[in-house]
Chains A and B, each alone.
Chain A
Amino acid sequence: MAENIMETMMQESARVQQKLLKGFESMMQIRDMEEGVTPREVVYREDKIQVFHYKPEGEDICPVPLLIVYALVNRQYMMDIQDNLSLFRKLIGQGLDLYVIEWGYPSKMDKYLTMEDYIDGYINNVVDFIRESTGSEKVNILGVCQGGALSTIYAALYPDKVQNLVVMVAPIDLDTTDGLLQVWAKFFDVDLMVDTIGNVPGDFLNLVFLWLKPFQLIIDKYVGLLDRLDDPETVKYFLRMEKWIFDSPDQAGETFRKYVKELFQENLLCKGEFKLGGRTVDLRNITMPVLNLFGEQDHLVPPYCSKPLADLVGTKDVTTIAYPVGHIGMYVSSKAQKEMPPTVANWLKERSAPRKAKGPGKEKS
């Protein structure tokens, strides 16, 4: 028995070392990975944000442009992570004229940026820019994760500018103890943090996300990769994901304060008491069609947070689709990659009236 144990130890040690050696040489040479793979054009800039335009492909072009509003917490290129796993590429392949906001990295100078600045300022300006440059009276909006909440608020405040609202893994009803984030947020002294350090560091948020599944995310994920370290494609994909996971911009302090206090802790949006720029945000003003997509196994935004949107909006044209995947799976799982783009495109095309033809948009600074 003792000999067997030693033999096993040696075998297993050798295996680990062998694998690490194989990965060492190739990984050390990789300094960085690209942020998105689909060709795009910067068409709008304001402060630190910029808007990318992805031209539609095919003949059946959706007449209303689609704006993707991603979360402030991570970067939008998760939806364009590599050639065979790009929702952006698949959406334009379905004939969607795609615009995507890239929020940039708030610096200390941006600590006073408020949610009004993001919604009434940036999002509204981008929507107006797209309307003007495409000649379309309205735009379709797809809000992702935290961006889903921002888009929902925008649609309630500016229903005349939104043709259809699509939300993906959007945290809407946060009066729940289903998810750890929702539990922890209730205990979090956000005032003290913002008053003391201004912007909330992305590193801090990353740490919080890692603690949702510590052993899986800190240990097993990497141990599991050992067996595939000699496969260059696997390693590249893993590196892209790692880059994205830890590429977390700091959060503008005042925006984060309002987001945590009024949405997470007090759930004011669902109660119909959330105020922005002196106006009460009434979700019943969302009279345009709504498509609500979420992951059944999402541990960051549990289904309970996303589902209730249908009961809160003022339209009866609500389509709710649950995918049997987790939060990240909504972007990169084969099921979501295969089914979501045609579903979104067809749903939008059925609800998008033709728009006036006009030339492509030009960059605006």
Chain B
Amino acid sequence: MTGSTDRPNEWMAQWLKMQESLMKEWALSLGKMMKSQASPQEWMKMSMTPGGLYEQWAKTLADLTPERETEGLGKQVYNRIASSSKVYMDLLNFWAKAMSTMKAVPLDRTLTAEEIGEFRNQWMKNYRRFMETLWGSMQAGDDESLGRVLDGATLSASDFTWGLVEPIMKNMAQMPDIVQKISRGDTSAVLDLGGIFAKNYEDTVGRAMIAPSLGYFNQLNEKIGQTVHAYARFNTAKNAFNSMMYGTGLRAAEKVYQRSSEFIGKEPTPETFKAFYRLWWTVNEETYHELLRSEEFATMTRDMITRGLLFRKWVDELVDHLLKFTNIPGKKDMDEIYKTIWELRREVRTQKRAVKALEKQLAVKPKRKKPPSE
């Protein structure tokens, strides 16, 4: 690969010129000075990839406009567009690397097995880097939504859990191998890590967590233990789920790779990139669709949601228990109130209907008594 990491050169100068022009245009549209615009020297220090530069550009834009940004529909949707654009720019970066690699493919002879292998390895290595940025952004979104579903969950328990199990993790014989695998980009190894974590946890701390405790605070201690235990199990299920999703991404990568030969010999124009982008997202959509239809996906999703809900359940139990010592009503108290209100509303509705029916009868009866001929 050439070019993308060379600094400064001709295209970099062009890039800076273009950035300057864009930022000026933007500043003019706002009618204000660009106090925090990055200097050319600062631009030079930035990540020289479209994704990196885009990120920096978006950050500069955000820095300049805090007082103008108002919460609202426009901002929400704009943020969604901007984060999708980031994925698009990261793909552009990957594509540029892939095209540079393709440049080295001789068109006048058949490649050797070693050359094909090398080409594929390079391609997959670059793709994995891109996928990490993509997977990170999608995962963050999912976590956020799931977090809202499990709303009220004390996520700081994560640190607490980790503190409890960290010594075990450090001493595990399998760890170096797994960590090495992960560092090589084999994220399926996360699943192994999760499995080892779960097993060790269940055998050691897990048992202690759910064991009945004694003394004045035994109920409270048990609930704390159950909550932490449920959180650890939720995390294990979440890791397994994420690993499955990542593995599917790798399968999609293989398919995109197979199809990328269509681009050998083609000029690297914006249109070629757009064609590649279309290929990329449609292949991914199809591959993920196969997974989403599978029993494996349904089972693992159910497992993750179930464990998440059980964690939430224990958090509620714990909070209810703590609230017993105060005058503040807990979840169970509120449920009782909600149920009573619902029953009363039903009763009122029934009574209203009965009254209405009686009113109708009273209004209709005199008419019936009067013969039509009179």
What is A's interface to B at a CB cutoff of 8 Å? 1-18, 20-21, 23-33, 47, 108-113, 117, 121, 125, 180, 183-184, 186-189, 192-193, 195-198, 201, 203-204, 206-207, 211-216, 218-223, 225-226, 229, 238-239, 242-243, 246
Contacts and interface: CB of A to CB of B under 8 A. Distances in A.
Interface stretch (B35-43, B167-175, B188-196, B333-341): B333-341
Contacts of A7: 11
Nearest to B288: A214
Contacts of B50: 9, 12-13
B3 A6 contact: yes
Which residue, of B57, B78, B267, has the highest number of chain A Cβ atoms within 10 A? B78
Given A1-B103, A207-B145, A218 B138 contact: yes
Contacts of B309: 189, 192-193, 196-197
B73 A187 contact: no
A356 to B, nearest CB: 15
A220 B91 CA distance: 12
Given A2-B103, A18-B22, A29-B74, 18 more contacts: A3-B3, A9-B4, A12-B50, A13-B53, A17-B54, A27-B75, A28-B65, A28-B68, A32-B72, A184-B298, A192-B306, A192-B309, A196-B312, A197-B151, A207-B146, A220-B84, A242-B73, A242-B77
Interface stretch (B109-117, B202-210, B216-224, B268-276): B268-276
Interface in B74-93: 74-78, 80-85, 87-89, 92-93
Contacts of B26: 21, 24
B292 A211 contact: yes
B258 interface: no
Contacts of B281: 215-216, 219-220
A211 B4 CA distance: 34
27 contacts: A4-B269, A5-B99, A12-B50, A14-B18, A16-B54, A16-B85, A27-B77, A30-B73, A109-B342, A110-B338, A113-B342, A187-B301, A193-B305, A195-B313, A196-B310, A204-B149, A206-B145, A214-B288, A218-B84, A218-B138, A219-B87, A223-B85, A223-B87, A226-B85, A239-B73, A239-B74, A242-B80
A292 to B, nearest CB: 27
Contacts of B65: 28
Nearest to A109: B338
A207 B270 contact: no
B292 A4 contact: no
Nearest to B9: A6
B301 A25 contact: no
Contacts of A192: 306, 309-310
B: contact size bracket: 35 or more
A243 B53 contact: no
Interface string B288-323: 110011000011011001100110110010000000
Nearest to A25: B29
Contacts of B185: none
Contact of A3 (B11, B84, B85, B151): B11
B301 A32 contact: no
A226 to B, nearest CB: 7
A279 B231 CA distance: 43
Interface string B330-368: 000011001101100110010000000000000000000
Given A27-B77, A28-B75, A187-B298, A10 B15 contact: yes
Contacts of A212: 292
Contacts of B3: 2-3, 5-6
Nearest to A186: B298
A108 B334 contact: yes
B288 A25 contact: no
Interface SS of chain B: helix, strand, loop or mixed? helix
Interface string B126-160: 00000000000010011001101111000000000
Contacts of A201: 148-149, 151
Q: Which 8 A-B pairs have the closest CB atoms?
A: A31-B72, A30-B74, A222-B84, A27-B74, A112-B342, A187-B298, A6-B11, A215-B285
Contact of B84 (A18, A29, A189, A219): A219
A117 B347 CA distance: 11
B72 to A, nearest CB: 3
Contact of B270 (A15, A113, A203): A15
Nearest to B84: A222
Contacts of B4: 6, 9
B268 A4 contact: yes
B14 interface: yes
B81 A23 contact: yes
A101 to B, nearest CB: 16
Contacts of B148: 201, 203-204
B259 to A, nearest CB: 15
B285 A9 contact: no
Given A2-B3, A219-B87, A180 B68 contact: no
A47 B345 contact: yes
Nearest to B88: A223
Which residue, of B99, B282, B342, B346, has the highest number of chain A Cβ atoms within 10 A? B342
Contacts of A12: 50, 92, 270, 273
B96 interface: yes
